[in-house]
Amino acid sequence: MRADRLVATLLLLQSRGRVTAAQLAEELEVSVATARRDLEALSSAGVPVYPQPGRNGGWSLVGGSRTDLTGLTSSEARALFLMAGPAASGTPEVRSALRKLVRALPQTFRADAEAAAEAVLVDATPWGGADRTRPPLVDQLQEAVVRRRRVRLAYEGRGGVSERLVDPWGLVDKDDRWYLIAGTDHGRRTFRVDRIRTAEVTEDPAERPDDLALEEAWAEVVTTMEHRRSLVSAVVVAAERDVPVLRNHFGRHCTPEPPDADGRVRVRVAAHTAVSVAEQLAGWGARLKVVEGDAVRAELARIGAELAATYGERPAGRDR
């Protein structure tokens, strides 16, 4: 896009002091004629850019003028590339933007910025897990959010697929699962993007609360969902060394007490149902004991009986 080239051109002029059309064309990967037209467009638009003919000539900002488009310090530039570098590995647009930005940074910043861009590799696939792909509708919904246009969704909920006309407010990527926060006739709603079957961006302007803070709205969603995910709890006694594994299984719904003199720890764990708690505890066998939570104990007994009936001792030769 021409706009990002003009921004990159200004940044280059600011950092280099003077550039020729040929140098600019090489840096921005465009033709010399295109680079010259961009420089002339900036000058025509009132930006204090002027050409200086001669052997050592080129284009400069009048009087060393500075256009503070980034305001980046060295540490800020390094932090930016540390954050954006890993994401750029799969996003051509971001890679292109970062290349242009690093060329426009002052020479003393460049080495750190380029090193930061390659310092971190993000592998979002969990051990033993399948690769997750970005839902194809994310880009379309993101455009609707930016342009503030209403979207007609075909959404698959518990009752089947229904049509919704929504005002898109923002997208959230939570552990590679995408959500759309939107306004509806019934107030704010959250939609899982992988359940959206089709999305049609209309030309109708979307309404968005003036005081909307996406981070705060999502925090409310998380609080509500985590409450629903912890309606049933139980207290187990486990060895201190097993607490990190329990915490990994139950996440924020695992609350251990200080260990006793024997190295045993009382841990409160929770999930949305007694069955869910029991299913996560059943694999521990006798390594831990449920001391509070009658419903969870009953589910463990049921699971144990089913396993014993299915896998109990069988006569020799009947293991088939």
Structural domain that includes position 19: 2-64
Does some domain include residue 204?
yes
Does some domain include residue 251?
yes
Residue 267 — pLDDT band, cuts 50, 70, 90? very high
Answer with the one of 198, 227, 256 that is the final residue of a domain.
227
Does some domain include residue 316?
no
Same domain, 201 and 239: no
- pTM score of the predicted model: 0.63
Answer with the one of 173, 208, 227 that is the final residue of a domain.
227
Does some domain include residue 80?
yes
Same domain, 205 and 253: no
Same domain, 240 and 223: no
For residue 159, is pLDDT > 50?
A: yes
Does some domain include residue 130?
no
Same domain, 257 and 269: yes
The pLDDT tens digits for 31-71 are 888 888 888 877 776 667 778 777 677 888 765 444 444 55
**How many CA atoms, within 13 angstroms, populate the side-chain half-sphere of residue 303?**
18
As a whole-number percent, the residues of the chain with pLDDT over 70 amount to: 75
CATH of the domain at 250: 3.30.70
Answer with the one of 50, 82, 117 that is the final residue of a domain.
117
How far apart are alpha carbons 267 and 238 in whole angstroms? 7
Same domain, 98 and 47: no
More confident residue, 43 or 214: 214
More confident residue, 320 or 243: 243
User: Which one-letter amino acid corresponds to residue 320?
Assistant: R
Does some domain include residue 193?
yes
Q: How far is CA 5 from CA 11, 27, 39, 95, in A?
A: 10, 10, 10, 14
CATH of the domain at 50: 1.10.10.10
Mean pLDDT of the chain: 83
CA 263, 268, 271, 276: dihedral to nearest 10 degrees? 50
pLDDT of amino acid 234 = 97
For residue 319, is pLDDT > 60?
A: no
Does some domain include residue 122?
no
pLDDT of amino acid 10 = 74
Same domain, 221 and 251: no
Same domain, 11 and 33: yes
- Look at the chain and report how many structural domains it folds into: 4
How far apart are alpha carbons 188 and 209 in whole angstroms? 11
Same domain, 238 and 217: no
CATH of the domain at 201: 2.30.30
How far apart are alpha carbons 36 and 141 in whole angstroms? 37
pLDDT of amino acid 219 = 93
Strand arrangement, sheet containing 254-256: 254-256, 264-271, 232-239, 289-292
| Most distant pair of Cα atoms in the chain: their distance | 100
First to last CA, the chain: 67
Residue 1 — pLDDT band, cuts 50, 70, 90? very low
User: Which one-letter amino acid corresponds to residue 64?
Assistant: G
Same domain, 217 and 141: yes
Same domain, 185 and 248: no
Does some domain include residue 79?
yes
Same domain, 170 and 223: yes
Same domain, 266 and 304: yes
Residue 14 — pLDDT band, cuts 50, 70, 90? confident
**Mean pLDDT to the nearest integer, 302-306:** 95
Instruction: Answer yes or no: are the C-beta atoms of 269 and 247 closer than 8 Å.
Output: no
